[in-house]
Structure 1
């Protein structure tokens, strides 16, 4: 396996090459309305960390424009983008109850252990709600990305979910965990030849038909509670069917060729995040997808930057100065990686020649503020796709514990999705708009 070169010059060159090498074949291959009238679609990206950030050195102490109040030590790597980011304070995810598993309900707002008669019950995540509206004409309705962590993510503040995304029935959606897997998802390979794709689809459909027949005959012998469970199961089956139909629709339309060789299978930590960010941009730029969620790795990031503490231990950073220093180092690295992502979005060209950045809504945050605090969670917003939002500010909402769902509802509407409520929302955040 060829190792991917990760120096900044090479990475920048390949992305610039991607603007011409990939986008042009996309326009020739897909005779879509967007291509013909040169109107770029909206894209929405959700980035979720695990545990929160260092209380004293990450969060701004006052509201105002960053050009006037300055950036904190933790936010300093975003200096070159300070006029293009917004922070919102005083939001709480009302549904979150587990300080070790914030990502489980981060994009849903559900109280997963608070539904009578059910040990666990989640709801649809806002990325999947948006994907219903933005993802109907793309190869992938959404991209759900995650990361392999040694403990499955429970030590990193993410909890037991497989990603940030949950389907209509509140079932976890598995994430693509490794850069190499995302690479072969996005780019053409010998296994993507139409005859091979059709053969795989036929086999999957045959298996699905058998499952449906067996389950259908079983339903007649079950009690009501078990029938309800089986109905939930059939909902999942229908979603699989929808996925197969989408794959069949795109089976004869070739994927773009990769602009670089496959990355190393064992790539983790900081370099894995950079490469996932870069491939996300290519996926958006080629209109293979318009909605992406990424549950960021935590433990492997710490290891890759020389921090030997486990993520959970680091979240208790108040025990010693070395832990405080490590926490501050982690904060700056996370924001440095976010700055890298914004750099790439601004460099990449969209189908009309504008910056890809100008058509994206990017949210970065976690369900935990600092340590194990579930209130006043961090929320960073960037991208020019939310046309009503003016960036460059730290906004302190007048009401403490404003539902985080209000923030998601605001972004959902800014993405053009006509809904009036999401999860436990009580309205949009008017301070963000105008």
Structure 2
């Protein structure tokens, strides 16, 4: 039998011309072949963590019944077409949640005011970050960190327990991901990166010379300082390595207009429906182009915002959560939550429409969302869901009842595990990986 040689296309293959370059979509030609047989591609896992501040109307959130045939609630009805690709998890609890400080322990299980630890998304970013232009991306409806306030704008924390700033402007994010940088500017950036790196080397050298003169407490603090310097050096090194590589340019047909994007702090032209779709599309594009494999997104902060004029309700989201069992308040709260789930369905639609490997981008992407509180500002009865990831060994069941008071950290540990990243047995306050979710 005559077996012809075959050289597969690289996963990041480009079409190049004098005017720029265009990233190829996933093609079967990117698969290695052995004779006439096709070898399954190596999976590229992605992970996203999402925060919905101020809880939801849990009286109309959980499905009716358990297992794959559970009847979806009013709020979850927009997700019907994606049955088989998500699991609602009842029984989760955030030990230090409830009230309006739930965003702080959301990803770390550590209460506000205590020294934070590394969040699950950053654990995964440490594993995959060197393979992508951006080790992780932090998105939010509010720019910055919001640290110190109840309206925390990020759920990502580095290994030093420092919050990582989030971006809320779709245009800024789009430019970071896809706008090419001209050659002259790239050269200036590379020189600046290297200059800053040399300054760090000098600072590090000077600091190390002090060690013999310091007491134990100061040496410990200096060690923490060294770690921070190493983190900056690692970031600079990554920026230098990627500065000369062209950014990917996917096919933007069917996507929104990022040139006209308006942020929530913008003007009266802001429409949340447009904004939500732009942000979810950016996540899909970032994953599709392998610009990053880890994203966090604060979809709704605590207290402020959450309701927009086109929602057609009479009160702000926080005010509606203080419903006082008023049927009108509960009705409007469920109405708003349903709108957010329509946007989530749109996001899943987008991921499911993008071919990736031997499946779709949704198959290779594991998404988890919840909140820092349930209804009535409780720390349990949380709106928790995992979506996607069937290609990563996740077995979806529509509605899975966990033992009461299951730590939310168990959900995060399960996601990290499915990303193929080893974790310590004492992962936060987790009781372990949720076996019922694993194939």
Q: TM-score, normalised on structure 2?
A: 0.80
Structure 1 residue 97: Cα displacement: 4.3
Task: Show the counterpart of 2:338.
Answer: 332
Is residue 416 of structure 1 aligned with residue 428 of structure 2? Answer: no
Structure 1 residue 164: Cα displacement: 1.0
Measured against aligned partners, the alpha-carbon deviations of 1:285-330 in whole angstroms (never above 9, x if no partner) come to: 1111111111113544412534453333232123634422321111
Task: Show the counterpart of 2:130.
Answer: 136
Structure 1 residue 45: Cα displacement: 1.2
Going from structure 1 to structure 2, the CA distance change for 1:180 and 1:224 (only over 3 Å counts) comes to farther
Going from structure 1 to structure 2, the CA distance change for 1:220 and 1:97 (only over 3 Å counts) comes to farther
Going from structure 1 to structure 2, the CA distance change for 1:108 and 1:419 (only over 3 Å counts) comes to same
SS in 2 for 1:357: coil
Mapped to 1, the partners of 2:26 and 2:157 lie a distance apart of 30
Structure with higher Rg: it is: 2
Measured against aligned partners, the alpha-carbon deviations of 1:328-370 in whole angstroms (never above 9, x if no partner) come to: 11110111111000000011122x3631111111112112111
Structure 1 residue 227: Cα displacement: 4.8
Going from structure 1 to structure 2, the CA distance change for 1:151 and 1:182 (only over 3 Å counts) comes to closer
Please identify runs of 4+ aligned residues in structure 1 that moved more than 6 A. 217-222
Task: Show the counterpart of 1:266.
Answer: 262
Is residue 173 of structure 1 aligned with residue 164 of structure 2? Answer: yes
Do 2:145 and 2:165's aligned partners in 1 also have CA atoms closer than 8 Å?
no
* Structure in which a larger fraction of residues adopt strand: 2
Structure 1 residue 186: Cα displacement: 0.3
Do 2:75 and 2:337's aligned partners in 1 also have CA atoms closer than 8 Å?
yes
Mapped to 2, the partners of 1:405 and 1:151 lie a distance apart of 22
Summarize the alignment of residues 20-39 of structure 1 with structure 2, pairs less than 5 Å apart.
Answer: 23-24=23-24, 38-39=41-42
Structure 1 residue 259: Cα displacement: 5.3
Do 2:370 and 2:382's aligned partners in 1 also have CA atoms closer than 8 Å?
yes
Task: Show the counterpart of 2:329.
Answer: 323
Do 2:91 and 2:401's aligned partners in 1 also have CA atoms closer than 8 Å?
yes
Measured against aligned partners, the alpha-carbon deviations of 1:381-433 in whole angstroms (never above 9, x if no partner) come to: 11134543322421112x21122222221221111112243212222112222
Going from structure 1 to structure 2, the CA distance change for 1:212 and 1:309 (only over 3 Å counts) comes to farther
Task: Show the counterpart of 1:303.
Answer: 308
Do 2:93 and 2:380's aligned partners in 1 also have CA atoms closer than 8 Å?
yes
SS in 2 for 1:164: coil
Summarize the alignment of residues 212-251 of structure 1 with structure 2, pairs less than 5 Å apart.
Answer: 212=204, 224-225=216-217, 227-251=219-243
SS in 2 for 1:363: strand
SS in 2 for 1:64: coil
Do 1:22 and 1:286's aligned partners in 2 also have CA atoms closer than 8 Å?
no
Task: Show the counterpart of 1:91.
Answer: 92
Mapped to 2, the partners of 1:223 and 1:26 lie a distance apart of 57
SS in 2 for 1:200: helix
SS in 2 for 1:135: helix
RMSD: 3.2
User: Unaligned regions of 5+ residues in structure 1, if any?
Assistant: 1-20, 114-119
SS in 2 for 1:103: coil
Do 1:364 and 1:380's aligned partners in 2 also have CA atoms closer than 8 Å?
yes
SS in 2 for 1:175: coil
Mapped to 2, the partners of 1:41 and 1:162 lie a distance apart of 28
Structure 1 residue 60: Cα displacement: 2.8
Structure 1 residue 174: Cα displacement: 1.0
Summarize the alignment of residues 346-385 of structure 1 with structure 2, pairs less than 5 Å apart.
Answer: 346-350=352-356, 352=357, 354-385=359-390
Q: 1:405 aligns with which of 391, 402, 409?
A: 409
Going from structure 1 to structure 2, the CA distance change for 1:37 and 1:205 (only over 3 Å counts) comes to farther
Task: Show the counterpart of 2:109.
Answer: 109
SS in 2 for 1:102: coil
Q: TM-score, normalised on structure 1?
A: 0.81
* Structure in which a larger fraction of residues adopt helix: 1
